[in-house]
Chain A
Amino acid sequence: MRMMRAIVPILLTIILVLVLDNPLGSLPALGRLLDPVNGWAASAERTERDFNFTIVSPAVKAPVTIWFDEYMIPHVHAANEHDVYYAQGYIHAYFRLWQMDLQTRAAGGRVSEVLGDKALNFDRTQRRKGMVYAAENSLKAIEEDPRSKEMMNAYTDGINEYIHTLKYRAYPLEYKLMGFAPEDWTNIKTVLMLKYMADDLTGYTEDIELTLLRDMLPADQFAMLYPERDYSSTPVIPAGTLFEPPLLQKVPVPAGDLWAHLKPTDFEAEKVSNEGKGSNNWAVSGAHTKSGAPILCDDPHLGLNLPSLWYQMQLQTPGMNVYGVSLPGAPGIVIGFNDSISWGFTNNYRDVKDFYAIEPAAGKKDAYMFNGVAVPYTERIERIGIKGKGTFYDTVNYTIHGPVVYDERFPGPGKLKKPLALCWMAHKASNEMLAQYLSNHARNYMEFVEAIMSFQCPAQNMVYADRAGNIAMWGQGQFVNKWKDQGRYIMNGKDSSTLWGKVIPMQENPHVLNPAQGYVSSANQTVTDSTYPYWYNGYFYQFRAWRLNSLLSKLNGATVQDMFAIQNDTYSILAEHALPIMLRYVQAKDDKYLGELKKWNNELSAESLAATVFQVWWECLYKELWKDMLAKDKVPMKPLVERTMELMMLSDSAIQQHQQPFLSNLTAAINSGYKLALDSLAKLDKAGNLQWYKAKNTMVRHLTKIPAFSYDERKLGGWGNTLNAAKGDHGPSWRMVVQMGKEIEAYGVYPGGQSGNPGSKYYASFLDNWTEGKYYKLNFFNNSAKQKDSSSIKYTWTLQAK
């Protein structure tokens, strides 16, 4: 009887415990999470936490001292190369473990293991485009060089040393929310992190859309709307720079049918603009600065996430003293300076990702046609673990060109079913780790150039300045000597004539040292003028470059404060040129919006109302202008905004001179665009969102997109086509200004904080200053600095063998 009465509460207890100990749908295991002893509250870091630690780690060869300054930025002093990268691994893991884990899972297509089958398509895309294949190829190259091998191994060991100390209670909060556990780090994960960046920066492609447009439009119209390079640009390598005669011969365009052909019915893609995924960098020579020392600036525009993509550090050994931002998940400093030189990157955007149409061999499932014979595929079986569902097997067919990414079983963009193989520079074995190692150690221009010769992909515009007074710019990466138009459209994959040819010797990559203009700059625009001897295409943007060059060319007696102002500049070149035309042809009565626009200074500043009106009107006009371009068919990709603006200006002059404008629908589009804009503006007004920063809503979101861990409506101006390129979820991910004088004077800020823990006061501690365009003066200690000399040092870690 007693047992009978007890059964009800016992069962209830057991059921409740089981429910709370397991995830329910998208809810985490609530009991584990809400338990304040081991769950969420274990991540509630004391705001006055004492970070002075002594860490016993048998792997270090000599004691390592790590100072943390007032921004929680570590300064690592190690006696040798092994220990410095070991310590870096330990520190990265200590502050950013979950982020490193998730990003490398994303890179290698292993998200389904922790999120279940809703991530399966994403994982398959990653696997099929060859991310793991690429990382395996590069890992071999990295492990062949003893320097990069030691760097990688030490870094991995440092991460694992930390992971092995972890019990559930100390797991980063996100593991408890998502219900998985840290696993051992391996070198391949580090390489996947590098390939994740390569994919982010060279993954964009227009080949599929251009293939269709090329077939649908008359040739002259196609050339007018989609020029292969914009020669109205102010190129990365200043126009007029002399290029040596090329070492490789120009490759003639082969005979025969080189292209694949598409019909509008083959797919229904509408391209998402890539604008704003870019960066600015420049260096001003001492002749134009107040101090007489060169100043180098860089602000890479990337996804704005928390935990931040970047982690600031200083790394010191007897042979190296380098400061800058590192990528959690990879050793070394990516962008920064050492005691002799400084450097920064923008994306180069030359096209290094090409597609080949594959013709399956008739009657054979496992072969494709090449040079008239059936060639068997090399099969690579991708095993994708799915949480709660076992393993999904995906067989990817590799051809002479590369993996068949899309086919009937896995359609491409807009459900395109044509089998397409991918030939991509990121697939090739390369050792960017060595480039990073050497650039971190480089003491002068020659050593820097030697360092970047190992940098193949993603191609970058590398700006350089040193304390000896030199400034330089390299459009660096591994490029193929292509025939005209090679790889611009999907190529016919059944003939050897379309294969990639020889690579261009790297010393012939476009570069310039100490140009007469006294500055170098890049903002993702066309790399060279038309005198560069090798043919290339790419995805170049001009607005920021036009603005940047006009500002830099006027500089005299420049200070670091002037550089801050340029990085935070929100002037719209598009508005400067397009708005007068829009106002000339708009037939609406003078309402309050047009009144605002007429008074406007073309600044996309945070609180501006006119900025919102212009941007909304422009978006509508841009859509209206191109929507009927292909008569009844959907336009797969609109011409660039730069090109659109230029065509508007040409058409405007034609109308003024009573000639037939190229854009026959200009007036109509301006007016129908304005009507549409009024509707959108009324909605924004009703919601109280007319101010530009509210209308565009720049967000810095946690990687899980959980609003509670994210920030939105950052009060800053700008857009993808202004220097301060703060868009919705993209923008300046690290603003750096370094004056390379006798004493190096460096400033920096990124939209986040040093800690990845949402429960730490260091989680987003830089965010407000970043929003307001303010900078931190960086603590760069020389090799002989003593702790007592600096009041900036707050905590010390010691890593020692016993």
Chain B
Amino acid sequence: MRFIINIFLTALLAALATWYLPWWTVAIVSFIVALLLPQKNGRAFWSGFLGIFLMWLVFSVFRDISNEHILSARMAKLFHLPGYGLFLVVAAMVGGLVGGLAAWSGAALRGR
């Protein structure tokens, strides 16, 4: 249950934070959530990863659909990816990795 809660809390707070602050605040959010709601390192990593991954994915899919994939298709070509869908997933995974590492850091510091 905490795993699910952490995922959604991370996603929600990260969306709120980056609306006003630079992108790297997703790391701080993941770190704090993992610190305050402790889990084992591996689970913390994955809840941080999925939190940010989902937030980035949902946010970009939402904007991409109303853009009819004009820009995501160009971005995919820019990064030599075969299609816009893959670009959205790969981009979200970059965010996920930051979130996961930050959450692992928080969990490790709490040391449960």
Contact = CB atoms under 8 A, between A and B. Distances in A.
A562 interface: no
Given A37-B59, A708-B75, 10 more contacts: A9-B41, A9-B101, A16-B98, A17-B27, A35-B23, A36-B91, A40-B91, A44-B66, A44-B70, A761-B68
A47 B68 contact: yes
A5 B56 contact: no
A3 interface: yes
Contact of A34 (B68, B94, B102): B94
A759 B94 contact: no
A185 to B, nearest CB: 26
Interface string B71-108: 11011111000000000000110110110011011001
Nearest to B109: A6
Interface in B40-57: 41, 56
14 contacts: A2-B109, A9-B104, A20-B98, A21-B23, A31-B23, A35-B23, A36-B56, A37-B59, A41-B72, A46-B67, A47-B68, A706-B78, A758-B74, A759-B67
A33 to B, nearest CB: 9
B66 A46 contact: yes
A41 B67 CA distance: 9
Contacts of A759: 67, 70-71, 74
Interface string A466-503: 00000000000000000000000000000000000000
Interface size class of B (residues with CB under 8 A): 35 or more
Contacts of B77: 707-708
B18 A2 contact: no
In this complex, the member of A3, A40, A763 whose beta carbon has the largest number of chain B beta carbons within 10 angstroms is: A40
Contacts of A47: 66-68, 70
A43 B109 contact: no
Nearest to A49: B66
Contacts of B102: 13
A20 B66 contact: no
A382 to B, nearest CB: 34
A658 to B, nearest CB: 62
A709 B74 contact: yes
A753 to B, nearest CB: 11
A748 interface: no
Contacts of B22: 32, 38, 168
A39 interface: yes
Across the A-B interface, give the 10 residue pairs with the lowest CB-CB distance, nearest first.
A759-B71, A35-B23, A36-B60, A708-B77, A44-B67, A6-B108, A2-B111, A708-B78, A6-B109, A9-B105
A468 to B, nearest CB: 46
Interface of A: 1-3, 5-6, 8-10, 12-13, 16-17, 20-21, 30-32, 34-48, 168, 173, 706-709, 758-761, 763
A12, A13, A20, A46: residue with the most chain B Cβ atoms closer than 10 Å: A13
A3 B98 contact: no
B37 to A, nearest CB: 16
B33 interface: no
Contacts of B63: 36, 41-42, 44, 46
A156 to B, nearest CB: 30
A37 B74 CA distance: 18
A32 B23 contact: yes
B15 interface: yes
Contact of B98 (A2, A17, A42, A48): A17
Contacts of B66: 44, 46-48
A91 B34 CA distance: 47
A44 B108 contact: no
Nearest to A43: B71
B50 to A, nearest CB: 16
A222 to B, nearest CB: 51
Nearest to B30: A13
Interface in B10-25: 15, 18-19, 22-24
Given A17-B27, A759-B70, A37 B15 contact: yes
Contacts of A707: 77
A229 to B, nearest CB: 47
A21 B27 CA distance: 12
Nearest to A30: B94
Nearest to A18: B24
Contacts of A9: 41, 101, 104-105, 108
B74 A13 contact: no
Nearest to B14: A37
Contacts of A37: 15, 18-19, 23, 59
Contact of B71 (A2, A5, A20, A758): A758
Contacts of B94: 20, 30-31, 34
Contacts of A12: 101, 105
Interface centre among A2, A17, A31, A37 (most CB of B within 10 A): A37
B106 to A, nearest CB: 8
A2 B35 CA distance: 13
A43 B78 CA distance: 15
A39 B98 contact: no
A758 B77 CA distance: 13
A44 B64 contact: yes
